[in-house]
Amino acid sequence: MTKKRVYEIARDLGVPSKELLEALVELGMPGLRAVSTVTDEEAELIRAFFRDRQAPAAPEAPRRPEPPPSPKREGTPRPPIVAVLGHIDHGKTTLLDAIRKAHVAEGEAGGITQSIGAYQAVVHGRAITFIDTPGHRAFTAMRARGAQVTDIAILVVAADDGVMAQTLEAVDHIKAAGVPVIVAINKMDKPGASKDRVLSDLAKLGYTPEEWGGSTVMVPLSALTGQGVDELLEMILLVADMEGIYGDPEGDLEAMVIESSLDSGRGPLATVIVRNGTLRERDAIVVGATWGRIRALHDHRGGRIPAAGPGTPAVVLGLSGVPVAGEKVERVEGPNEARRIAEERSRATVDERRAARPPRTFEELIQVAQTKQLVVVLKAASVGALEAARHELGNLKADGVELEILHAGVGPITETDVLLASAEQDMQPLIVGFAVKVDGKAARLAEQRNVPVRTYDIIYDLAQDVGRALRRLLGPELRETKIGEAEVLKTFDIDGVGRVAGCSVRSGRVVRSGKVKVYRDGEGVFAGEIASLKRFTDDVREVLAGRECGIRIRDWNDVQPGDTIEIYTVEEISV
């Protein structure tokens, strides 16, 4: 008996798999997934049911209410933007090449296609945009600049090798980005291939395959022979349908640079992917600190195009400089405005560079932190060391602050780690290494991005430092010590100065540098600090009990006779 997959039936019927799956629930076949197989009879039943349901004449055909339009999902389905991640040599490049060869139409000018950093494949008449710089470096470089370009991540795992260090790293990057993932189990043609081992490794990472009752889509394939590649493409379309990836050609422009270069003939080139809206020739744009009026747009086949709509990659010609990957493209009224904004930005960047001394310690950096979450990238020399360090960090606690290990891996601290950490700039990212080195590029990037990096040879020091950083997020702990009390006898309002309280010191002492709390009829009415302390007309540092003095409170002129002023000192307790 032959078997058919649900998505194949959907294709035969010419409907999205998502729609068919919804119909199957009505048919009393819940729990089926797009990759599930059904028997011939079941397939026929499904076809018949679906045709009836579609037929307008059938009175029993249930009509589903239209889902309410979500404000973020305006427009129509657009090509999903896909990035390919995974361990080195697991076949990312081979897979991207295989898809390009089979599904990208030849370009103009004799079929010479240029790599622009992205291409569009066409599958069953629908386009899929692939970012063809493989690896999570590019993926995260964009996120680090606050731009999320990818809709779906393909995680490539070689079936003969299984999950490796960079697979784990890629998983952390994908999870941090929160994008749906499809696992491509590659090299199935190789004699040593073991799909089951990959499945069980991935299950440990929280990716359970559909055939084991989970929800992660996994496709066994061979990028080299092409076996299974079409199924992967089907799955991309399916996940895109499930996710509801929409764009509005008339909507606000949302576009970002994924690659850029300087061409000796054509000047600065930037490959841009449009997520929403439409980018057109002659548009005035600002990209970071560069600007221009678009002189020409080229597609991934080297041909000139008048416009690039949602989900489309295009090369932009006509910018004043080479923009940085990850930078957003903004459209403005005209070239004058574009230039003004870009110039303002480059001035601001120069000033910022001059002014900024990168914070070097966790403590220094954390003083400016806005959040109560510490995210840590942890690297260690071996799996054993990593587990030990992870365990130590797991033991750290501080009420009201969270510690999240964004990524833990074996090996030196690299640029990728810095990119991953700096993508979480609005949290509090730290990178710590246990018995590992920081590579030179990573150190430079960390400095530029203000991400603190520390390495340790002793695990205790690592845990203590991170623990300190964690507690520091709560702000310094303060200890107040009451040192004296004064009673307000009279007040004097002095022009241009404010109100001075003539006081008698009842106990302890009043110090010029002290803080005050003011009580009226037993109730606290103000807390602040002393602006000036005088004995007669002289400024003094302190006045002891039994004497009289004039106290002016900073920024408060409401002190009244009969008030009690409590004087105290505040110390920061070091954590």
Binding site for ligand GDP (CB under 6 A): 86, 88-94, 134, 186-187, 189-190, 222-224
**Pairing verdict, β 81-86 and 152-158:** parallel
**Pairing verdict, β 428-434 and 542-544:** unpaired
Nearer residue to ligand GDP within complex by CB, 93 or 507: 93
Instruction: Write down the least CB distance from residue 163 to ligand GDP, Å.
Output: 14
**Pairing verdict, β 152-158 and 181-186:** parallel
Tokens representing residue 555 in the block: 């920024």
**Which residues, 6+ apart, have CB-to-CB distance to 133 below 8 Å?**
117, 258, 259
CA distances to 259, 375, 485, 506 from 569, rounded to whole Å, are 57, 35, 12, 17
Nearer residue to ligand GDP within complex by CB, 91 or 409: 91
SS3 117: coil
Instruction: Write down the least CB distance from residue 173 to ligand GDP, Å.
Output: 15
Give the integer Cα–Cα distance in Å for 77 and 80: 9
- Amino acid residing at 250: E
Nearer residue to ligand GDP within complex by CB, 89 or 457: 89
Write phi, then psi, for 195 (nearest 5 degrees).
-65, -40
Nearer residue to ligand GDP within complex by CB, 94 or 425: 94
Do 153 and 334 contact (CB within 8 A), yes or no? no
Tokens 């005050």 sit on residue = 516
Instruction: Write down the least CB distance from residue 307 to ligand GDP, Å.
Output: 33
Instruction: Give the chain's largest Cα–Cα span.
Output: 107
Instruction: Write down the least CB distance from residue 74 to ligand GDP, Å.
Output: 36
Give the integer Cα–Cα distance in Å for 288 and 319: 11
SS3 385: helix
Query: Cα torsion at 554, 555, 558, 559 (round to 10°)?
Result: -10
Do 445 and 324 contact (CB within 8 A), yes or no? no
438 has which bridge partners? 413
Nearer residue to ligand GDP within complex by CB, 134 or 452: 134
Nearer residue to ligand GDP within complex by CB, 188 or 427: 188
Instruction: Write down the least CB distance from residue 98 to ligand GDP, Å.
Output: 8
Nearer residue to ligand GDP within complex by CB, 9 or 95: 95
Instruction: Write down the least CB distance from residue 94 to ligand GDP, Å.
Output: 3
By beta-carbon distance, which residue lies closest to ligand GDP? 91
493 has which bridge partners? 499
SS3 166: helix
Instruction: Write down the least CB distance from residue 229 to ligand GDP, Å.
Output: 9
Nearer residue to ligand GDP within complex by CB, 50 or 130: 130
Nearer residue to ligand GDP within complex by CB, 90 or 298: 90
Nearer residue to ligand GDP within complex by CB, 18 or 92: 92
Instruction: Write down the least CB distance from residue 433 to ligand GDP, Å.
Output: 25
Instruction: Write down the least CB distance from residue 224 to ligand GDP, Å.
Output: 4
SS3 71: coil
**Which residues, 6+ apart, have CB-to-CB distance to 246 below 8 Å?**
73, 74, 75, 76, 77, 78, 310
Instruction: Write down the least CB distance from residue 357 to ligand GDP, Å.
Output: 39
